[in-house]
Structure 1
Amino acid sequence: MKMRPFSVSKSSEGSSSLLGYTIIFISLLVHKLDSAHFSVIGPDHPITASVGDEVTLACRLSPSMSAENMEVRWFRGQFSSVVHLYREGKDQYAEQMSEYRGRTEFLKEGLADGRAALRIGNIRLSDSGLYKCFFRSEFSYQEAALELEVSVSGTNPLISIEGYQDGGIRMVCRSGGWYPEPQSLWKDLKGQPLPSLPAKYFRDENGLFQTESVLIVTENSNQNLTCTIRNNILNQEEVSSVYIADSFFPKVSHVTAILLSLNLLVWGFSIPLPIYYLWKQHKEKGADKLQAGVYLNDQIEETLPQIHIIHFWSCFLFVSEKYLSAFVLRKARRFAEDVTLDPETAHPELWVSEDLKSVNCAVITGEQPKDLDIVDSYRCVLGSERFNSGRHYWEVELKNKTMWHLGVCADSENRERYKNIAPEGGYWAIRLWNGEYKALSTPRTTITLEMKPTRVGIFLDYEAGELSFYNLCDDSHIYTFKYSFFGTLRPFFSPGIHGSKEDAPLTIFPV
């Protein structure tokens, strides 16, 4: 029997071809999907930058593949907080945050290999923080996080001698303009650290840190000193050196020896006399009336020396206090400021002179306010000068004014924040009102003065946290506020409520 040759029909051939194409298409799709899976790799350490510089934030795809047709997004926090966006082959700025506009540049040179980099210029403190680098293809998306640390190196340290403490010299090292908090360290000539008081840190209105470190130097300790302020992020430091000569160390002078001797004499006489007086009083307690007159006379004779000694001791302390106050005042005057008034801050019912040195109330016939602690109640004006560090001194002439307020206040665009005249409200001031002097502390402090001041000296030591007032009629100390100041302070003046043609203005007196 003869067999027929094998043959394939046309319909069978079509089915085989379709099956083959389907297998090839699925294979290509699986390969494409498999190749679409990727991860994003960023730097494994924080990126550091200085304020004002530029920085490049880089990340890449793994495995390496083209990202030219992908979406590449840099954002902070939320997905919508866009730092920079690349999509559809070009930069997109519609969604970019306003603070980054004009400061970013997307570097596209490495996109074919899956490398993306973003350059940010004019770095600010607010740029510090966490960033996300996000890639999205047609089939997948991934992101990586990276951290930017913004830092600032501050000024060269200023070393100053600020008196005597604990048998040695109090040395203070100050520097400003740092971010974040720097490391402050005193060292000897060999570079060995010296024990010092814990450093203090303050932030100014720009968010930068000021530092203050205190070292007590004794005659037997190191006299060659360096103060180092270091920024550990940028690995940068500023150094100042000083040498303390023997003549600066406290010595017991002839005057001091005499005062100490007088002190011992006072105590030597004042202690036995009361004891002797009590013993004699007890001994003569049983004397008859005839001896009463003699006994009283003896009492007076025994008491008089004691009265003289107490009087001498009081005078001694009074003179010492006066001398110390005058000494501090002379030191404060070395930091004299040419303070002027800012007419933009003056109450509408105040008159400010053309030279910006005097202020007075217009003639007002309204009633006196019930609340003397409200700023607008008694009308004020601020000084043009702004202080956020250092020491500053100015003088104000009062003449024969019957009411006034003087001091400093916190600077603020919103003056409503500082209505309450007290330290917690941003005011540190003293006043004369209805013949009574008060420090506007919490609670109020009544001040007793031996002499009515016609000129007052004001001394602000920002870092020490002290605002002192002095009566320049006798160079006596009036009052000192102690407070940890923050932010910017401005001189504060109020000439009172009611004005008259005869009423003298407050005048900033040239030092």
Structure 2
Amino acid sequence: MPFFLQTSRMSRIKDRHRLVLQHVVILIFLTQSCGGQHQMIGPTQPVVAMIGDDIILPCHLEPAVDAVDLTVDWSRKDLKPRSVYVRREGVELLTEQNPLYTGRTSLSVNKLQCGDVSLKLSTVQLSDAGTYKCLVPKFNAETVVTLAVGSVSSPVIELTNVKNKMVLECKSNGWYPEPQMLWVYSEGKPISVEPTKIVRGSDGLYTVSSKVTVEKGQSYSFTCKVQQKNISQIKETHIHVSGDLFMVQSNTAVHIIINLAVCLISVGTVIFVIWKCGQKKTGKFKLHSTFYPNLKLSSDLFNVLF
């Protein structure tokens, strides 16, 4: 075979080997690249839950992949042990779980098949507030989810007469995080507002109160508002006080007190009437006994007379 033909043939073989090698390199690169493309998607804003709620901490793989048999790890770095929930090869590892979360965490198998590894947390507690890490080690994919825990209650206004003035106290307990309290009132009326008192109980919840003093003989409309911006919660109650101290209030204890007084008066009236009737019957019996001492009344006659 001529030399130039051998050279040409060897050149073609080298080119073919080089092309195959390039394809192999590209395939390896694409495989690794596709594996690294999996990302963990979580919420961009904190998840807000009230104490006692059942909530979902969102987390899912993108693009979606069946994660039923994958390792899924939820944790908090501020805890010891850190594990909130661990699942490996389809089995929950309860021995690695922090005792604070015993019996309160779970994943949905149906959602896992679609790459959704969101964590369900039941009966939220104040101590659950914090930053959680969601991790699937196979793809080195992770994200963080922040949980904000709150507690709220409606405020109540109580009234007290002090000489020629009247004191309105607004109070609300069982809040978390620490809230703000403010009064909104009709314009042009001079009032004196005391600084808000804030007390934190042994349960970690806050009680807030504030007093307003007004002159008697004038009409006022008040709104007591309690708000917590971090958990986007606002609670309020309204009251109208007229010049003759007649109060029209919504969502406070005043209606309860008035209704209770009415009930007590009604019960007292009924008891008095029954007592008077008893006195009359007793007197009538004595009258018959006096005028007819030897008369024996049958039960039927007695019933007719009385």
**AA matched with 1:46:** P
Q: CA deviation at 1:107?
A: 2.5
- Counterpart mapping for 1:277-288 below 5 A: none
SS at match of 1:109: helix
Residues 182/195 of structure 1: CA separation in 2 closer, same or farther (3 Å cut): farther
- Please tell me the residue identity of whatever aligns with 1:128: A
Distance in 2, Cα, partners of 1:26 & 1:182: 61
Per the TM alignment, residue 244 of structure 1 is displaced from its structure 2 partner at its CA by: 5.1
The 8 Å contact of residues 162 and 171 in structure 1, kept in 2 or not, is answered as no
Residues 182 and 231 of structure 1 are in contact (CA less than 8 Å); yes or no, is this contact kept in structure 2?
A: yes
Q: CA 1:195 to 1:121, structure 2 compared with 1: closer, same or farther past 3 Å? A: farther
Distance in 2, Cα, partners of 1:99 & 1:67? 29
Letter in 2 for 1:243: V
Amino acid across the alignment from 1:57? L
Structure 1 residue 124 corresponds to structure 2 residue 157: no
Task: Give the Cα separation in 1 of the matches to 2:141 and 2:27.
Answer: 23
In the TM superposition, what whole-angstrom CA distance separates every residue of 1:371-416 from its partner, at most 9, and x where no partner exists? xxxxxxxxxxxxxxxxxxxxxxxxxxxxxxxxxxxxxxxxxxxxxx
- CA 1:172–1:36: 2 relative to 1, 3 Å: same
Q: 1:151 to 1:78 in 2, by over 3 A?
A: closer
Aligned partner of 1:95 in structure 2 is 96
| CA deviation after TM superposition for structure 1 residue 105, in Å | 1.2
CA apart distance, 1:247:
5.9
Name the counterpart of 2:237: 239
How far has the Cα of 1:155 moved from its partner?
4.3
Q: What is residue 180 of structure 1 aligned with on the other side?
A: 177
2:45 is aligned with what amino acid? Answer: H
CA distance in 2, matches of 1:81, 1:199: 39
- Distance between the aligned counterparts of 1:18 and 1:52, measured in 2? 67
Q: Is the 8 A contact 1:154 1:176 kept in 2?
A: yes
Change beyond 3 A, Cα 1:122–1:3: closer
Instruction: Please tell me whether the aligned partners of residues 216 and 245 of structure 2 are also in contact (alpha carbons under 8 angstroms).
Output: no
> Cα 1:28–1:162, aligned 2, differ >3 Å: closer, same or farther?
farther
What's the offset of the Cα at 1:201?
0.8
Superposed CA deviations along residues 319-358 of structure 1, whole A, max 9, x for unmatched, are xxxxxxxxxxxxxxxxxxxxxxxxxxxxxxxxxxxxxxxx
The equivalent of 1:150 in structure 2 is: 149
CA distance in 2, matches of 1:20, 1:173: 82
Is the CA contact (8 Å cut-off) linking 1:224 and 1:241 kept in structure 2? yes
Aligned mate of 1:227, from 224, 229, 234:
224
Count of matched residue positions in the alignment of Structure 1 and Structure 2: 238
Query: How far apart, in 2, do the equivalents of 1:78 and 1:152 lie?
Result: 22
> In structure 1, what is the Cα distance between the partners aligned to 2:121 and 2:141?
22
Partner secondary structure for residue 202 of structure 2: coil
- Deviation digits for residues 201-258 of structure 1 (CA, Å, limit 9, x no counterpart): 111221111111111212476523332333442434141425254469xxxxxxxxxx
Native 8 Å contact 1:52 1:123 kept in 2: yes
Alpha-carbon spacing, 1:244–1:15, altered in 2? closer, same or farther (3 Å) = same
Whether the aligned pair in 1 keeps the contact of 2:173 and 2:207 (CA below 8 Å) is yes
TM-score by length of 1: 0.40
Q: For residues 224-373 of structure 1, what are the structure 2 equivalents within 5 Å?
A: 224-232=221-229, 233-243=231-241, 245-246=243-244
Q: Go from structure 1 to structure 2 and tell me whether the alpha carbon gap of 1:247 and 1:47 turns closer, same or farther (over 3 Å shift).
A: closer
| 8 A contact 1:74–1:84 mirrored in 2 | yes
Taking the aligned partners of 2:105 and 2:148, their CA distance within structure 1 comes to 17
Q: 1:177, 1:210 within 8 Å by CA — same for their partners in 2? A: yes
Q: Is the 8 A contact 1:108 1:117 kept in 2?
A: no
Which segment drifts farther, 105-114 or 21-30?
21-30
Deviation at 1:74, TM superposition (A): 1.2
2:137 — aligned with what? 136
**What is the match of residue 34 of structure 1?**
33
Do 1:162 and 1:172's aligned partners in 2 also have CA atoms closer than 8 Å? no
CA distance in 1, matches of 2:240, 2:64: 60
> Which structure is higher in RCO with an 8 Å CA cutoff and minimum separation 6?
2
What residue is the counterpart of 1:199 in the other structure?
196
- The 8 Å contact of residues 159 and 166 in structure 2, kept in 1 or not, is answered as no
Is 2:107 aligned against 1:106?
A: yes
Q: After TM superposition, give the deviation of residue 172 of structure 1 in Å.
A: 1.4
Question: Match of 2:85?
Answer: 84
Q: CA deviation at 1:152?
A: 1.1
Could you report, residue by residue, the CA deviation over 1:433-452 in whole angstroms, capped at 9, with x for unpaired residues? Answer: xxxxxxxxxxxxxxxxxxxx
- State the secondary structure of the residue aligned to 1:94: helix
Instruction: Provide the alpha-carbon RMSD of the alignment.
Output: 3.8
Whole-Å separation in 2 of the counterparts to 1:3 and 1:228: 101
Residues 171 and 66 from structure 1, CA distance in 2 versus in 1: closer, same or farther, beyond 3 angstroms? same
| Secondary structure of the corresponding residue to residue 205 of structure 1 | coil
Query: Retained in 2: the 8 A contact 1:227–1:239?
Result: yes
Q: Indicate if the aligned counterparts of 2:219 and 2:240 stay in contact, CA closer than 8 A.
A: no
Tell me which residue corresponds to 1:51: 51
User: Deviation of residue 16 (structure 1)?
Assistant: 9.9
Against the structure 1 CA distance between its residues 67 and 92, is the aligned structure 2 distance closer, same or farther, given a 3 Å change threshold? Answer: farther
Amino acid at match of 1:135: V
Q: In 1, Cα distance between the equivalents of 2:23 and 2:218?
A: 87
Structure 2 residue identity aligned to 1:187: V
Change (3 A) 1:162 1:19: farther
Give distance in 1, aligned partners of 2:106 and 2:144: 19
Offset of residue 113 of structure 1: 4.6
